[in-house]
């Protein structure tokens, strides 16, 4: 037990050092723009279908599940407002980030882990290339920039799923639905949700890279790196979400 | 008691005809309670083929990794091309690494890149330093032709056999025209015929480019063919040193064990 607690704090310390090294290396020349663009394309493209599918289903299910209760309280006309605010503020960013934690963090963990155990990272270093800059910095920036885009896209898809249910079950037109949603939303809903999705992206990239870059114990270590990257990233996402909600509550009174 | 080690060191230090390119003195490295290197000493001369032989886990790979700064030794002195590794910052170490080629045991080809991209990768990054102003593209086929694999340019590493991977890795090492090449178990995991081909390739490279080679191996056949001088690494120290024929005729049981069929 004591050993586990000790290991936990060691990991927190190592992760802090890893992130400080990321910021330091970010501003060192040369910038790896080509690799950054490649990673952005890979990560955005690889996760798009999954994000679309899950958010569409979330939008559908949320509306279907809430509808009977809203009818019971005679508040079915408030449906777009309720679904819109909950998706944009919380459900959209968190679901998208969790999906990406499963897809991207594990992918990065496994990729860098296998590069570590097959000495590809060492080969890069020996050839005079900074592997941290080439592999880690580009991946963390790619997730930090791509997750907010995926969140915005996922939100729109979830709202479309919800609008579809309202259209089929409540004869509400798409135009009326989206007008009501956008009337209900304010900057206080959009800005904190967008800002926190940048942090979600950062956490996903950071944890994936950290677990993969320091992967040990041969090929078994690759599996461990991928698995623990997902677990740690998912857990940290909730911590970041709590802090983000807490801080945004100070600036935008809910 | 180490056998021949001190004699071997005296011999190499007195060899004034060739410049020393690598000098290791009293190198020590431990992993917890496991003392892998316990005061290893070595000198490599310009244009020389030096083989370091030892059992698996004897610290050969650790020594070679300390040499290029991939691992930090606990203590000891490492000098490469007149520069002490411990005193170099990242930038100067990277500059020095341009003169050192490293052939990894598992080839270490980047599996997300094609063979061509694997070779272009170090080249593109050091274009300015190498003074390559023109397009780097023609250098890749030339390097691959040198190892007899001109036709594999657009293949992925996963499509190559073990021997082909080793050759491509060698081509990638050579493309930066290093002055020293470090070979980490160059023939391990290869069938005898492919291993022989790799050894021949190493010899031809040494002749063509005049590189100094440090070969880490436990393959006696490889050592016999390629070595000018050998060091036996036992218990973390250079237990014995000399030419292949000197060592293979030794009556010391620890040395004999290496050469017994």
Closest CB to A120 among B97, B108, B176: B108
The verdict on B125 touching A (C-beta cutoff 8 Å) is: yes
**Model pLDDT, residue A142:** 95
> Which residues on A lie below 8 Å from B104 (Cβ)?
119, 122-123
A171 touches chain B (CB under 8 A): no
Terminal alpha carbon distance of chain B? 24
- Report in angstroms the alpha-carbon separations of B180 from A224, B40, B91, B243: 37, 20, 19, 20
Mean pLDDT per 10-residue run, chain A (254 residues)? 86 90 86 89 90 94 91 87 91 94 92 91 88 93 95 94 90 90 87 92 94 85 89 93 88 66
Residue A197 belongs to some domain of the structure: yes
Domain extent, residue A81, equals: 35-251
For residue B14, the model assigns a pLDDT of 46
Q: Return d(Cα A177, Cα A159) in angstroms, integer.
A: 9
User: SS3 for B133?
Assistant: coil
Q: Which two tokens stand for residue B208?
A: 């063509």
Asked whether residue A99 is assigned to any structural domain, the reply reads yes
pLDDT at B5: 45
Contact A122 B98 (CB under 8 A): no
Mean pLDDT of chain A: 90
Any domain includes A39: yes
Full strand arrangement of the beta sheet holding B75-80: B34-45, B20-31, B75-80, B83-84
Whether residue B85 contacts residue B79, with contact meaning beta carbons closer than 8 Å, is answered with yes
Residue B104 contacts residue B182 (beta carbons within 8 Å): no
Position A27 in a domain: no
User: Shortest Cα distance from B62 to chain A (angstroms)?
Assistant: 13
In this structure, the number of other CB atoms found within 10 A of the CB of residue B92 comes to: 11
Flag if B97 and A128 touch (Cβ within 8 Å). Answer: yes
Q: Distance of CA A28 to CAs A10, A24, A132, A178, Å?
A: 27, 7, 11, 45
Which pTM value belongs to this model?
0.85
pLDDT, position B88: 87
Q: Chain B 202-261, CB below 8 Å of chain A: which residues?
A: none
Number of structural domains found in chain A: 1
Of A241, A253, A252, A243, nearest to A92 (Cα)? A241
Q: Write out residues 21-60 of B within 8 Å (CB-CB) of A.
A: none
| Partner-chain contact A122 B65, CB within 8 Å | yes
For residue A159, the model assigns a pLDDT of 93
pLDDT score recorded for residue B6 = 44
Determine which of B32, B70, B88, B95 to mutate to test the interface with A (most A C-beta atoms within 10 Å): B70
For residue B29, how many C-alpha atoms fall within 13 Å in the half-sphere facing its CB?
25
Q: Please check whether residue B104 touches A, CB under 8 A.
A: yes
Q: Does B70 touch chain A (CB under 8 A)?
A: yes
In a domain, A96, yes or no: yes
In terms of C-beta distances under 8 Å and separation of at least 24 residues, what long-range contacts does A32-39 make, across chains too? A32/A133, A32/A134, A32/A137, A32/A138, A35/A134, A35/A138, A36/A138, A36/A141, A36/A142, A39/A138, A39/A139, A39/A141, A39/A142
User: In Å, how far is A39's CA from the nearest CA of chain B?
Assistant: 12
pLDDT digits (tens, 9 = 90+) for B168-188: 998 888 888 888 999 988 888
pLDDT at B10: 44
ipTM of the complex as predicted:
0.83
**Residue written as token pair 């479309």:** A160
Q: Which residues of chain B have pLDDT under 50?
A: 1, 3-14
Interior CA angle at B203 toward B198 and B205, to 5°?
95
Give the integer Cα–Cα distance in Å for B125 and A21.
22
Tell me the C-alpha distance between B202 and B223, whole Å: 12
Q: Do A46 and A158 touch, CB atoms closer than 8 A?
A: no
Min Cα distance A96 → chain B (Å) is: 27
Dig out the tokens for B5 from the structure. Answer: 């080690």
pLDDT of the residue at B222: 85
Contact call for B102 and A123, based on CB within 8 A:
yes
């Amino acid at each position: 037990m004591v050993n586990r607690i000790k290991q936990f704090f060691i990991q927190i310390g190592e992760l802090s050092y890893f992130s400080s090294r990321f910021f330091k290396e970010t501003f060192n020349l040369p910038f790896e723009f080509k690799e950054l663009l490649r990673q952005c394309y890979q990560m955005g493209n690889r996760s798009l279908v999954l994000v679309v599918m899950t958010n569409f289903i979330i939008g559908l299910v949320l509306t279907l599940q809430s509808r009977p209760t809203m009818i019971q309280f005679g508040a079915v006309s408030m449906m777009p407002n309720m679904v819109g605010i909950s998706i944009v503020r919380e459900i959209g960013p968190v679901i998208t980030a969790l999906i990406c934690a499963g897809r991207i963090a594990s992918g990065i963990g496994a990729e860098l882990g296998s590069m570590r155990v097959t000495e590809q990272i060492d080969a890069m270093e020996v050839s005079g290339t900074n592997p941290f800059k080439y592999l880690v910095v580009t991946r963390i920036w790619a997730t930090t920039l791509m997750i907010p885009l995926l969140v915005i896209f996922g939100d729109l898809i979830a709202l479309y799923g919800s609008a579809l249910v309202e259209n089929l079950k409540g004869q509400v037109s798409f135009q009326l639905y989206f007008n009501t949603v956008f009337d209900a939303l304010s900057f206080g809903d959009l800005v904190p949700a967008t800002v926190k999705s940048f942090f979600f992206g950062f956490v996903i990239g950071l944890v994936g890279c950290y677990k993969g870059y320091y992967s040990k114990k041969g090929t078994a270590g690759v599996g461990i790196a991928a698995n623990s990257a997902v677990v740690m990233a998912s857990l940290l996402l909730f911590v970041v979400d709590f802090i983000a909600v807490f801080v945004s509550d100070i600036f935008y009174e809910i | 008691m180490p056998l021949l080690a001190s004699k071997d060191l005296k011999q190499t230090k007195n060899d004034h005809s060739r410049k020393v390119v690598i000098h290791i003195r009293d190198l020590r490295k431990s992993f917890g309670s496991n003392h892998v290197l316990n005061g290893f000493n070595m000198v490599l001369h310009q244009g020389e083929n030096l083989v370091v032989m030892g059992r698996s886990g004897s610290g050969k790979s650790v020594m070679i990794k300390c040499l290029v700064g991939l691992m930090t030794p606990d203590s000891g002195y490492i000098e490469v091309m007149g520069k002490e590794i411990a005193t170099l910052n990242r930038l100067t170490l990277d500059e020095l690494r341009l003169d050192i080629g490293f052939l990894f045991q598992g080839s270490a080809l980047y599996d997300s890149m094609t063979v061509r991209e694997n070779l272009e990768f170090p080249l593109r990054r050091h274009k300015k330093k190498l003074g390559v102003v023109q397009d780097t593209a023609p250098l890749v086929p030339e390097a691959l032709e040198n190892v007899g694999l001109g036709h594999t340019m657009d293949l992925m590493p996963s499509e190559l056999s073990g021997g082909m991977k080793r050759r491509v890795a060698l081509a990638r090492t050579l493309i930066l025209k290093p002055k020293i090449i470090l070979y980490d178990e160059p023939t391990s995991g290869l069938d005898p015929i492919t291993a022989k081909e790799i050894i021949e390739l190493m010899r031809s490279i040494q002749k063509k480019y005049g590189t100094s080679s440090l070969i880490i191996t436990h393959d006696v056949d490889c050592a016999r063919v390629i070595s000018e001088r050998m060091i036996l690494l036992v218990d973390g120290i250079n237990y014995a040193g000399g030419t292949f024929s000197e060592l293979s005729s030794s009556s010391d049981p620890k040395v004999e064990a290496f050469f017994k069929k």
